Amino acid sequence: MATRKVCQYLWLVLLASLLSTSLSGPLQAQSAVEPDFEFFRNEVQPIFLAKREGNVRCIQCHTRSSAFRLQPLSDGALFWNEEQSRMNFESARAFIRPGEHPLQSRFLTHPLDASAGGDAFHGGGKHFLNQSDPEWRIMADWVAGATSRRPPRETVVRIIQTNAAGDDSSVIDPDTNQVVGVIGDIEIPHGVSGSPDGSVVYISNEAMHTLDVVDSRTLRVKRRIPLTDRPNNVATTPDGSKVYVAIMEAPGAIDVIDTASMARIKSVPTVGAIHNVYVTPDGRYAVGGSIQRSTINVIDTRTDEIVWTKEMDAGIRPMIFDTHPDGSTRNIYVQLSNFHGFAVIDFNTREEIARIEHPPVEGEEAHLDGLQAAPAHGLGVSPDGRTLWSTSKVYSHAYVHSLPDLKEVGRVFVGQHPEWIAFTPDGRYAYIGAAGDNATYVVDTASLTVVAKVPVGQTPKRVGTVMMQLD
């Protein structure tokens, strides 16, 4: 009994001395660092939801085990609300020593590999192999009192190939034509577009019916924005303020996402389900095409209202635009269901002014299997506006036409079932997803030769050029 009393007394002394050091000792100055709530909510919390290869997401365990307690997400929610975020913040705070050396915080040492300064054991495994891991650095920066992300080391051009039958998208460096990163945890990634500052990449998620916001530096999904239904392609405005998402289920819509609040602000009803959506190069219009109803739907991006629609005689597949010298839209080039070529529509008069069919390629066997009613399914206008590229799944070639006179000026073999096209901003290379080869073909545009065949994931279709920040 007596021993127990002594023990209790000793504990009290220890506690009191700990408290007094933390109130009056050297710790006092350091606790002037106040961890920031906004930074925690927007930058740290996504780490608890992110899937790291071979690891379990933090949220799977920490809504129950251990004193580090995360709030469960509300039914159907994909992120914590304000109140839940506050509770998560308070819980994480208990395991940090703000302003001190990062390895003094259990929050930082527990998920960090022991070889990199982490502690010996975490029931949830080791999530970060070293202290330069971009996610670990976000957590460490928060503990150190950061209120915003550190400036990027560099902002670079990247080509993103989404793998339509995969759960990943491949990030290609156009300087080396190698895959330098993989964006995982998005099943059936469809369209891809970037934010102009390179901070995030948007990928539509067909499996979850979300627009996924991917952090360029961590390559992890940072937010999933719920859509009205199953999405197809996406497009960002040149100023980066909005993303338009094609909704592929009847009756059809184009969802409008405000990128600042990361929320859907409108769903614009369209004539038919929408396969692809684009923003015109001047940013004035969003243009969506319907396969089922054969309509082109044009939205004014200032009002987010439909300003005109045009019905064609076949389903609308990929589209692309060229511009007048003042930057306004000149023509829409459009591929149509069951047509091996493309049609040309004058954007001002809204009249079809030409239809160009691709001739067979001599010596090339015609492929008619698995065309999905789209023998030609990829269009691109080179950045200098001088050529129009169109891919043929039937003849495995890209056909290159001069602009504005639309004469065929060359062809290049680009693999089995070639699909979408993206160019480097300098126009030097064209990237084409060869769905049947699980590769992205890289074509030197001057010589029309294939300079690389980059192995990617399953059934690569959509490909996009984006800016990405590096940590």
Q: 316 and 290 in contact (C-beta within 8 Å)?
A: yes
CB of 122 to ligand HEC, least distance (A): 4
Q: 256 and 268 in contact (C-beta within 8 Å)?
A: yes
For residue 73, give every residue at least 6 positions away whose Cβ sits within 8 Å of its Cβ, in sequence order, or none.
59, 79, 80, 84
217 binds ligand HEC (CB under 6 A): no
Instruction: Output the CA angle 205-184-396, nearest 5 degrees.
Output: 75
58 binds ligand HEC (CB under 6 A): yes
CB of 73 to ligand HEC, least distance (A): 15
Task: Report the residue number, 121 or 308, with the smaller CB distance to ligand HEC.
Answer: 121
Taking phi over 0 as left and psi of -120 to 50 as alpha, with beta for the rest, 215 belongs to beta
265 binds ligand HEC (CB under 6 A): no
Q: How many CA atoms lie within 13 A of 312 on its CB side?
A: 30
176 binds ligand HEC (CB under 6 A): no
CB of 6 to ligand HEC, least distance (A): 27
67 binds ligand HEC (CB under 6 A): yes
The one segment of 65-73, 317-325, 393-401, 421-429 that binds ligand HEC by CB under 6 A: 65-73
Task: Report the residue number, 137 or 242, with the smaller CB distance to ligand HEC.
Answer: 137
**Rg of the chain on CA atoms, in Å:** 26
65 binds ligand HEC (CB under 6 A): yes
CB of 64 to ligand HEC, least distance (A): 9
The one segment of 56-64, 180-188, 294-302, 407-415 that binds ligand HEC by CB under 6 A: 56-64
60 binds ligand HEC (CB under 6 A): yes
Residue facing ligand HEC at closest CB distance: 124
CB of 134 to ligand HEC, least distance (A): 13
CB of 28 to ligand HEC, least distance (A): 24
CB of 111 to ligand HEC, least distance (A): 4
CB of 150 to ligand HEC, least distance (A): 20
69 binds ligand HEC (CB under 6 A): no
68 binds ligand HEC (CB under 6 A): yes
Alpha-carbon distance 193 to 201, whole Å?
6
CB of 138 to ligand HEC, least distance (A): 11
Alpha-carbon distance 330 to 353, whole Å?
12
Alpha-carbon distance 266 to 309, whole Å?
19
Q: How far is CA 365 from CA 358, 361, 395, 409, 437, in A?
A: 14, 8, 7, 22, 16
Task: Report the residue number, 133 or 419, with the smaller CB distance to ligand HEC.
Answer: 133
For residue 46, give every residue at least 6 positions away whose Cβ sits within 8 Å of its Cβ, in sequence order, or none.
215, 220, 221, 222, 223
Binders of ligand HEC in range 102-141 (CB under 6 A): 106-107, 110-111, 121-124, 127
Task: Report the residue number, 95 or 413, with the smaller CB distance to ligand HEC.
Answer: 95
CB of 52 to ligand HEC, least distance (A): 8
Task: Report the residue number, 131 or 416, with the smaller CB distance to ligand HEC.
Answer: 131
Candidate list 6, 15, 56, 250; residue touching ligand HEC; CB under 6 A: 56
91 binds ligand HEC (CB under 6 A): no
Task: Report the residue number, 50 or 414, with the smaller CB distance to ligand HEC.
Answer: 50
Candidate list 61, 157, 371, 450; residue touching ligand HEC; CB under 6 A: 61
| 311-344 burial code (b ≥16 CB/10 A, e <16) | ebeebbbbbbbbbeeeeebbbbbbbbbebbbbbb
Q: How many residues bind ligand HEC (CB under 6 A)?
A: 19
Nearest Cα residue to 254 out of 297, 214, 312: 297
For residue 112, give every residue at least 6 positions away whose Cβ sits within 8 Å of its Cβ, in sequence order, or none.
118, 119, 126, 127, 128, 131, 136
Alpha-carbon distance 196 to 192, whole Å?
13
CB of 211 to ligand HEC, least distance (A): 24
Q: In Å, how far from its chain's centre is CA 400?
A: 29
Nearest Cα residue to 230 out of 170, 268, 275: 275
* Residue ranges that bind ligand HEC, judged by CB under 6 A: 56, 58, 60-62, 65-68, 95, 106-107, 110-111, 121-124, 127
